[in-house]
Amino acid sequence: MLWRGRRQSDNIEDDRSDGGGGGIGGGGGFQIPIGGRTGGGGSILLVILVVIAGWYFGFDPSAILGGGDGGLLPGGGGQISDNSGGQGTAPANDEMKQFVATVLAETEDTWTGIFKSQGLTYEDPKLVLFSDQVRSACGFASAAAGPFYCPGDHKVYLDMTFFQQLDQQFGASGEFARAYVVAHEVGHHVQNLTGIMSKFNQMRQGMSEADANQLSVRIELQADCFAGVWAHYTAQKGILEQGDIESALNAAKQIGDDTLQKKMQGYVVPESFNHGTSQQRQTWLARGYKSGKLSDCNTLSGPI
Ligand SMILES: [Zn+2]
């Protein structure tokens, strides 16, 4: 991707050096907004389970932790400001930060245009760079859970060491694989702004785990499709290089539930899939990329 010299987003919050500050063990803070239940031990266990699940299966502890229900959110973005003291001592991987800021800016431009064409106003998300652990309006998260989006505070959370993991552990190398990761999370933000995510959280209430997983797959595949839509417009700007799309598609393949489960545990448990198979993820990413139309990203009904 020919990203150098292009606009970089101002919506980056660099919280890397203090790694989440007083988040862990800080006492009193593990409030998970699920159905109003915020019990201590249970919530901590839930966080741990979600972190493990996120690590195995993909990106979004937020999708499980909920948070779409804004009324139940404790403190919102106020928690994040706990972590804001880390600037000035950021690690040296600033080129990667610039890359992420540029990709984020490209998503801002693209989605602003798409929203405008529908008579809507796009609101930029923030992207929080963190290391090791972070606290969001969706609760506490470890970097091991991978990047995620928190609907409660409209922020994407990214520990950039995930990119190395993506490359070395998951076999998904290339700049555009990383761009896809950011664009996928921004896709969740689009779902949040358009009300899809709160509808999802409502529908999920009272569902069996298997049904909720199936619904989650649909939401995740739509975020992949939205990432594809973004890539479509980015390609039109003439800044994609040969192999870029292929590297994003390969990333989608490598982080498919079936591929990850095979790699991690040697067998697959389809009922537990919550992000989609490799084939599904590639299909929907490619679909969005091909047409650039949101109407081609309706994963919520029909076969996927
Ligand atoms: Zn996702």
What does the pLDDT look like over 95-110, one tens digit per residue? 999 999 999 999 999 9
Query: pTM for this one?
Result: 0.79
Contacts of residue 205, Cβ cutoff 8 Å, sequence gap at least 6? 35
Q: How far is CA 256 from CA 200, 205, 238, in A?
A: 21, 25, 29
Residue that the structure tokens 């790699």 belong to: 263
Q: Give distance in angstroms: CA of 250 to centre of ligand 1.
A: 16
- What pLDDT does 145 receive? 87
Q: Give distance in angstroms: CA of 267 to centre of ligand 1.
A: 22
Rounded (5°) CA angle 284-111-86: 100
Q: Give distance in angstroms: CA of 58 to centre of ligand 1.
A: 7
Q: Give distance in angstroms: CA of 63 to centre of ligand 1.
A: 7
Give just the sign of the alpha carbon dihedral 201, 202, 204, 206: positive
- Flag whether pLDDT at 285 surpasses 90: yes
Q: Give distance in angstroms: CA of 201 to centre of ligand 1.
A: 14
- Give the model confidence (pLDDT) of 19-75 as tens digits: 444 333 333 222 223 333 333 444 444 444 444 444 433 444 444 444 332 222 222
Percent of the chain with pLDDT over 90: 73
| Sheet with strand 148-150: strands edge to edge | 12-15, 126-130, 155-158, 148-150
Q: Is 245 exposed, middle or buried (0-12, 13-18, 19+ CB in 10 A)?
A: buried
Confidence of residue 90 (pLDDT cuts 50, 70, 90): low
- What pLDDT does 17 receive? 72
Q: Give distance in angstroms: CA of 81 to centre of ligand 1.
A: 24
Q: Give distance in angstroms: CA of 9 to centre of ligand 1.
A: 21
The answer to whether 36 and 72 have CB atoms below 8 angstroms apart is: yes
Q: Give distance in angstroms: CA of 176 to centre of ligand 1.
A: 17
Q: How far is CA 259 from CA 61, 160, 248, 254, in A?
A: 19, 22, 16, 6
Q: Measure the CA–CA gap between 75 and 89, rounded to whole angstroms.
A: 27
Mean pLDDT in residue range 211-226: 97
Q: Is 27 exposed, middle or buried (0-12, 13-18, 19+ CB in 10 A)?
A: exposed
Q: Measure the CA–CA gap between 267 and 277, rounded to whole angstroms.
A: 13
Alpha carbon dihedral 164, 254, 145, 287, in 10-degree steps, equals: 110
Least Cα distance to 79 among 41, 119, 22, 10 occurs for: 22
Q: Measure the CA–CA gap between 269 and 67, rounded to whole angstroms.
A: 27
Mean pLDDT of the chain: 82
Q: Give distance in angstroms: CA of 143 to centre of ligand 1.
A: 15
Q: Give distance in angstroms: CA of 36 to centre of ligand 1.
A: 23
